[in-house]
Amino acid sequence: MKYVVGYRPDERGADAIALAGVIAKTQGAELHLVHVVHGGRQDGEGLEKTARALVPDDVSATFSRRTAESYVHGLIDAAREDDAALIVVGAASNGLFKRFTVGSVANGLLHASSVPVALAPRGYNRRDPLTRLTVMTGVREGWQAVLDVGTTAAGRRNVPLRLVSLVEIDQLEQENFDLDHALSPARQHVNTVLAEAAAKLPQDSVTVTLAHGRNIEEAVDGIGWKSGELVVVGSSRLAENHKIFLGSTANKILRSLPVPMVVVPRDFGEQGI
């Protein structure tokens, strides 16, 4: 299995390599560090040495420079040629520490990639393996693909899987719903999802959380996060088949997360990451 890592000689490049190394450690995946050039030349040998120095000693990696009309196209082409399972990039450099702002490269990937995209928060420097996968599930079409990817990834890595469904209380109140009644479909859904996931993984390795707050940000902040955690979310139902489109809820989740996030294309199936 191979992961394409978007490398730039800046903080975002370092964040991306750190996250790719963490994910690869529990998978035995190889990293392909890709530096995309779309005008002018840079010292390829110097860049390669700097990039390789950031890769953990127990992770295999290759490096390449490629010319493309854009950084996004270069990474997508590399992922296609490698038959890569994942593209990993850093968040925009002007985000809050360990929070996300989606820059032009990440935004382009989130609208064009046919493979999952992993986003590293600013300042991400973990070196140890993953400790838990959290899958954000919803009741709308497309949740099954996210569950399949998360279940496969957690089972292969032998790490715990947490299933989370988020509900915005303010939205429910505005629609004049009784809270307990309004939460019932979400409770029923996550318990159904839990049963399906539990059947594929060892006993006691799956937990479920129904998180609610006045808004998505409050709900995300309130569920607790472990060091070494990775969140998996799905694409909006508006996405083209096998493509990514980050919906409004996923955008809100992304802005609130203190941990890395992987976005899975619509109808991706059970392929692993």
CATH of the domain at 137: 3.40.50.620
Q: Count of domains in the chain?
A: 2
For residue 162, what are the contacts with CB-CB under 8 A and spacing of at least 6? Answer: 132, 133, 134, 135, 206, 207, 208, 209
Calpha distance 264→236 (Å, rounded): 10
Q: How far is CA 46 from its chain centroid?
A: 30
Q: How many CB atoms are closer than 10 A to CB 237?
A: 13
> Which pLDDT value is given to residue 61?
97
Same domain, 159 and 200: yes
Same domain, 176 and 208: yes
> Which pLDDT value is given to residue 270?
58
Please check whether residue 160 lies inside any domain of the structure: yes
Which position has the higher pLDDT, 168 or 246?
A: 168
Please check whether residue 225 lies inside any domain of the structure: yes
User: Would strands 86-90 and 161-168 be described as parallel, antiparallel, or unpaired?
Assistant: unpaired
Instruction: Print the domain residue range for 194.
Output: 132-264
Please check whether residue 242 lies inside any domain of the structure: yes
Please check whether residue 127 lies inside any domain of the structure: no
User: Among 120, 153, 175, which residue terminates a domain?
Assistant: 120
Token pair in block for residue 214: 């006045």
Same domain, 196 and 247: yes
User: Among 76, 91, 120, which residue terminates a domain?
Assistant: 120
Same domain, 79 and 162: no
Q: What is the mean pLDDT of residues 50-64?
A: 95
pTM score, whole prediction: 0.85
Please check whether residue 200 lies inside any domain of the structure: yes
Same domain, 258 and 142: yes
Same domain, 107 and 155: no
DSSP 121: P
Q: What share of the chain has pLDDT > 70, as a percent?
A: 72
Q: pLDDT-derived band of residue 52, with 50, 70 and 90 as boundaries?
A: very high
3-state secondary structure of 125: coil
Please check whether residue 269 lies inside any domain of the structure: no
Query: Strand pairing partners for 163?
Result: 135, 208
Query: Which of 90-104, 225-239, 259-273 shows the lowest per-residue confidence on average (mean pLDDT)?
Result: 90-104
Same domain, 140 and 95: no
Dihedral angle at the C-alpha atoms of 55, 72, 257, 52, nearest 10 degrees? Answer: 10
Calpha distance 180→162 (Å, rounded): 23
> Does the structure show a pLDDT above 90 at 192?
no
Q: What is the mean pLDDT of residues 181-210?
A: 73
Q: Taking Cα atoms as reference points, which of 108, 104, 187, 152 lies closest to residue 268?
A: 152
User: Would strands 117-120 and 261-264 be described as parallel, antiparallel, or unpaired?
Assistant: antiparallel
Same domain, 113 and 149: no
Calpha distance 206→129 (Å, rounded): 19
Same domain, 241 and 147: yes
Same domain, 170 and 225: yes
User: Among 90, 120, 150, which residue terminates a domain?
Assistant: 120
Same domain, 21 and 63: yes
Same domain, 139 and 79: no
Q: pLDDT-derived band of residue 243, with 50, 70 and 90 as boundaries?
A: very low
Q: Taking Cα atoms as reference points, which of 92, 165, 164 lies closest to residue 122?
A: 92
Calpha distance 23→18 (Å, rounded): 9
